[in-house]
Amino acid sequence: MDRAKLAVWKFASCDGCQLSLLDCEDELLELADIVDIAYFKEASSREVEGPYDLSLVEGSITTAHDRDRIVEVRRQSRALITIGACATAGGVQALRNFSDVEDFAAIVYAEPQYIATLATSTPISAHVTVDFELQGCPINKHQLLEVISSFLHRRPPQVPAHSVCIECKLRGNVCVWVAHGTPCMGPITHAGCGAICPSYDRGCYGCYGPKENPNTGSLVHWWQEELGAEQATVIENLRNFNAEAPAFAHESRRLAGEAGQESGDDQK
């Protein structure tokens, strides 16, 4: 049987998730034996034409050109898996969704009239059907290998959608929220990192995005009422790499609306 053809695509992103794949080192050599890495610009200039058995997609959709390109990638791919917060939730660049992108462009670029961009940054799933979303900013390389192995061997990936708290408790950590009064996003954040931040005595800041069935409102209520978290702290935690993930965005908009900071985003 022919080796499966793997393609890795980049949209609006920092390349960190593709680097997680390059970072696999030994396993990457093994992967290169097992699959045909047909398209992976970050690693090689070699380009094999589609269709592809498996496409890994990094990055979000921020331009009209990319909006068309993702449709073509989907058409060429038997399975399409998004990797990282950008592709899955719009990434840090989705902060524009809470503001006016033209204002940003005017500050950053000397000649903003040459910048052609969409008003929003959106996840891949807003444009095409996605077979699996691997969350994380950046993704965990072991989880990436697990997802690829599961695809190759036709089995479900072992990427549980539960809270970071479970990983934290499996490690035997003392909870920084309960024992130190430190605000922690762990209870509503998707597992995958191995609870790194609480293991180093700081709160989780949600870089893996929402877990399944998150109750953001209740978490925020306790942060504010019992842990004395400032509104700005709450919004900062909800609005970073996964700002546009619905479970975080809904709550941050509600809070910001209350404070009268961000008028006019309610139509989104």
Partner 1 sequence: MYNFVLQADDLDSLIQAIRAQGYEVLGPVVQDQAITYGPVACASDLPRGWTDEQDRGHYRLKRRTDGAYFGYAAGPHSWKQFLQLPTRPVWKAQRTDHGIRMTEIVDEAPAVAFLGVRSCELHAIAIQDRIFIDDHYRNDSYLNRRANILTVAVNCTAPAETCFCTSMQTGPRVTLESDLALTEVIDGQEHYFLIGSDSYRGGQILNSLPVKPATARQLQLAEAAVDRAAKEMESGSRQFDSGDLKELLYRNLDSPAWDEVAERCLSCANCTMVCPTCFCSTVEDSTDLSGETAERRERWDSCFTRDFSYISGGPVRADTRSRYRQWMTHKLASWFDQFDSSGCVGCGRCISWCPVGIDLTEQVARIRELEEPS
Residues that bind partner 1 (CB under 8 A): 27, 30-31, 34, 145-146, 148-150, 152-153, 155, 158, 160-163, 165-166, 169-175, 177-180, 184, 186-188, 201, 212-215, 218-219, 221-222, 226
Beta bridge partners of 10: 58
CB nearer to ligand SF4: give 69 or 169. Answer: 169
CB nearer to ligand SF4: give 12 or 191. Answer: 191
Measured in degrees and rounded to the nearest 5, phi and psi for residue 81 equal: -120, 130
Question: Binding to ligand SF4 by residue 164, rule CB under 6 A?
Answer: yes
Distance (Å, whole) CA 79 – CA 92: 26
Question: Binding to ligand SF4 by residue 184, rule CB under 6 A?
Answer: yes
Question: Binding to ligand SF4 by residue 199, rule CB under 6 A?
Answer: no
First to last CA, the chain: 48
Task: Specify the stretch interacting with ligand SF4 by CB under 6 A; choose among 89-97, 120-128, 134-142, 171-179.
Answer: 171-179
Q: Pick one of partner 1, ligand SF4, none as the site partner of residue 17 (Cβ within 5 to 8 A by kind).
A: none
Question: Binding to ligand SF4 by residue 175, rule CB under 6 A?
Answer: yes
Distance (Å, whole) CA 234 – CA 238: 6
Residue 135 Cβ, how far from partner 1 at the closest point, in Å? 15
Question: Binding to ligand SF4 by residue 176, rule CB under 6 A?
Answer: yes
Give the residue carrying structure tokens 């619905």.
Answer: 246
Task: Specify the stretch interacting with ligand SF4 by CB under 6 A; choose among 8-16, 107-115, 119-127, 164-172.
Answer: 164-172
The only residue of 198, 209, 210, 214 in contact with ligand SF4, by rule CB under 6 A:
198
Helix spans in the chain (H): 16-22, 26-34, 64-76, 84-89, 101-108, 141-152, 164-170, 176-180, 196-199, 216-225, 231-238, 246-259
Distance (Å, whole) CA 31 – CA 190: 27
CB nearer to ligand SF4: give 75 or 221. Answer: 221
Question: Binding to ligand SF4 by residue 227, rule CB under 6 A?
Answer: no
Distance (Å, whole) CA 6 – CA 68: 21
Distance (Å, whole) CA 149 – CA 143: 10
Longest dimension (CA), the chain: 61
Distance (Å, whole) CA 50 – CA 47: 9
Q: Pick one of ligand SF4, partner 1, none as the site partner of residue 126 (Cβ within 5 to 8 A by kind).
A: none
| Residues making contact with ligand SF4 (CB under 6 A) | 164-165, 168-169, 173, 175-177, 184, 186-187, 195, 198, 204
